[in-house]
Chains A and B, each alone.
Chain A
């Protein structure tokens, strides 16, 4: 299958996502420029980490207006798989494709750390290769990763089994320790931890591969 990695001018984890997919996973991938209004023939889209357009206003606030996000919206509406990592997650909530918001970390500082997250549902195209309750070692690196939403939304996320990942130790103050969520149709995942940084044994963990492998599995029957 072929992954599309969206490149905003301030993306800086685009190469890392590409490397994880191509070298650690053995799948094809190509970059998609932010001004492109088409995604080409990709089977799934990754919105990588970084600082999209500088993010001086609010992370992802400008990115939602980009031509490529219009294409991503259409792709998602047709059931395409969209994975937003870190800044990608921020862009997805800013775009309204996922509920809630990501605000500054509780400690007000950027945090780069290897953390443990619990996989909360295996019922999704992003987590089917894992087991519910499994603890994964995946790093975080963000300044605005504190997930917030109103109580009703949070209850809904839980009731609909849409919390994909939770921090074992809540590093940034996220409500209910949420690290990653799914949309209602379960074809969009936004997560703050970086699975592409945990895809190579030399980087200390390969737990992040679960996400990419699940996507390959989910799309395989369609081929």
Chain B
């Protein structure tokens, strides 16, 4: 056994203080295996040591919440005795090192979190962030990462049989060395089918299920808790390899085993593998677990206890069965052709005791590992921000050309090339799939449906983390209102740089506070999520990139389309034209794409007005008055009008505006709280809006073929929507096949 030297402690990314604490907890020096176990459990990835203190500020309770943070996934009630489990997870670091497997195993990990709870996964959404595809230096690599990530997600999700129904993709140079891959999964089950990750009942057997353990992924959790350096590519062996077919077997077998009634508790082996699952299950139940590694199915020979405990081999689960009923459980796994072996027993002493052929190699209190990890109140100052407050006001040269440039830009162009690689229809519940404001999934069992939206905006959040994230929450809820859904609960993924830098820590703290305020206001408690820190390469952090996923409830029925369905409809802008001064214009897509600049502050948000707009839109849609509905976000009114014109039928609109704003500000400012509705009953729509104190000016009518926009009689845009749509559709494939550099 190796002696524990300060170098070895440092190599495990433990500080001298943390090491002293370990010695204190154990009352002795740790063994090498124990040091490894502590290092992964106390890593940022597993312990949330930098964020925990602040995460407590988030609202977690609400009328629909059955299970808040702390379990494998949050659970909400959807009525009639049914529930939804959902959560988001990041797989950023592995996806940079090995895009295909990194993204694939990201999907696999979050799916296991869902079916561990007893729920059958019904949908996946992804928030993806890459460096620009035409970046002069990193473009080729960014394209390769995008292609790898997308095919990795497709490979895993398609084979597993879960539809990938939505998400978003954003390009920015801050992601050149740090792509983000955040995956949200949802599952459905009955209230009485919920399983918890608790090792209850002293004497109950601990059963290992699924793939054999190999040397892959050792220290993955620690890798995800450090910045990237030049040597990071050497970490490729730390990325695991996914087997979606095995995961599918695991899903079916676990759900079937749970039905036997002999399963007491169950947890997937994700980050920190066997270590994390054993000590967390013990800690939650206040019990201990004793296992002998000799029984663990192994893919390779000669693995040390250290390697077995730290392996992150995929598609493995740990479960505790009722003593005497093991055979009922094991029989199910045999039916599905899976390894299932009793490797240990639940004990009453609160210790995780790991033996290797009878010899104790680690003995640690489960609680110390899972709950007593260090919590840091890291110093924070002012958020990291290098953008100027002001920028010389630019006059618009040609807003029509600008509109074309915007709809063909990376963030706003059609993402069909991406989502057509995903099976978004399997399970025949996708009432609204990718490419819309919100995805809508039917729940066959209840007659109700759920709507889901996933949003982020790193430009707003960089300019002001608190205001930025409030805008993100508002937009996410607005996306649900346009399909008539009532937002009920949220999950968050906080992607930031190195929290040991006070300016980065400040971004994280302000984001959490802004998110807490907005989630409270919009009544969407956070039921779980993920924090991904150290998203930095060579000292360059990503912009603060909180991603929020919100779930809403609605009745099952035809979903109101995004696009104008036919000519001759009135077009109303619920919420009004809005307003922006130059300073609040610096975070827009126009500033990004046309001016190539970032300055000032994010758009101003009046949360009270926003809520009333959403309530009005929800009611309008539910009353069946909207022939189409689409919220305004990136690219403002101009881009939203174009998007509404992208139906296959080729229906545009003739729009007459009345505003004093300069043309480009009028068309492209991103003030929130606005939704475009086309309708045959403009008066009824306006009456509902008026009841909520919301303006809803009639701005035009839909028409065949052309999108015409004028302000005070002056024509600004006259475009054939069919050709504009073609450019919008072809933009991404073009960026991928004919690089400009």
Residues of A in contact with B (beta carbons under 8 Å apart):
9-10, 12-13, 15-16, 19-20, 49-51, 53-56, 109-113, 139, 141, 143, 194, 196-197, 199-203
**Would you call B428 and A109 a contact (CB within 8 A)?**
no
**Would you call B420 and A113 a contact (CB within 8 A)?**
yes
B649 within 8 A of A: no
- Shortest CB-to-CB span from B432 to chain A, Å, is 10
In the complex, what residue of chain A is closest to B252 when comparing beta carbons? A9
**Would you call A12 and B160 a contact (CB within 8 A)?**
yes
Residues of A within 8 A of B421 (CB): 109-112
Query: Which single member of B244, B337, B424, B427 contacts A9 (CB below 8 Å)?
Result: B337
B248 within 8 A of A: yes
**Would you call B442 and A12 a contact (CB within 8 A)?**
no
In the complex, what residue of chain A is closest to B442 when comparing beta carbons? A202
**Would you call A13 and B426 a contact (CB within 8 A)?**
yes
Residues of B within 8 A of A196 (CB): 428
CA distance A111 to B425 in the complex (A): 11
Can you report 28 A-B residue pairs in the complex whose CB atoms are below 8 A from each other?
A: A9-B245, A9-B248, A9-B336, A10-B159, A10-B248, A12-B159, A12-B426, A12-B427, A16-B427, A20-B428, A49-B426, A51-B161, A53-B245, A54-B243, A54-B244, A55-B245, A109-B151, A109-B421, A110-B420, A112-B420, A112-B424, A139-B425, A141-B425, A197-B428, A201-B558, A202-B557, A203-B425, A203-B431
Residues of B in contact with A (beta carbons under 8 Å apart):
151, 154, 158-161, 243-246, 248-249, 252, 336-337, 419-428, 430-431, 442, 444, 556-558
**Would you call B426 and A200 a contact (CB within 8 A)?**
no
Residues of A within 8 A of B431 (CB): 202-203
- Shortest CB-to-CB span from A175 to chain B, Å, is 22
Residues of A within 8 A of B419 (CB): 112
Query: Which single member of B245, B424, B427, B557 contacts A15 (CB below 8 Å)?
Result: B427
Known contacts: A10-B245, A56-B245, A202-B431. The answer to whether A50 contacts B161 by CB under 8 A is yes
The 10 A-B residue pairs whose C-beta atoms are closest, nearest first, are A12-B161, A54-B245, A141-B423, A16-B428, A51-B159, A110-B421, A112-B423, A110-B154, A10-B245, A109-B421
CA distance A12 to B160 in the complex (A): 7
**Would you call B420 and A51 a contact (CB within 8 A)?**
no
Residues of A within 8 A of B444 (CB): 19
**Would you call A197 and B425 a contact (CB within 8 A)?**
yes
- Shortest CB-to-CB span from A137 to chain B, Å, is 12
Residues of B within 8 A of A200 (CB): 428
Query: Which single member of A55, A139, A197, A202 contacts B556 (CB below 8 Å)?
Result: A202
- Shortest CB-to-CB span from A13 to chain B, Å, is 6
Query: Which single member of B244, B249, B426 contacts A141 (CB below 8 Å)?
Result: B426
- Shortest CB-to-CB span from A24 to chain B, Å, is 9
**Would you call A110 and B158 a contact (CB within 8 A)?**
yes
- Shortest CB-to-CB span from A141 to chain B, Å, is 5
**Would you call A19 and B245 a contact (CB within 8 A)?**
no
- Shortest CB-to-CB span from B94 to chain A, Å, is 21
Q: Which of B248, B444, B557 has the most CB of A within 10 A?
A: B248
Residues of A within 8 A of B243 (CB): 54
Residues of B within 8 A of A201 (CB): 558
In the complex, what residue of chain A is closest to B161 when comparing beta carbons? A12
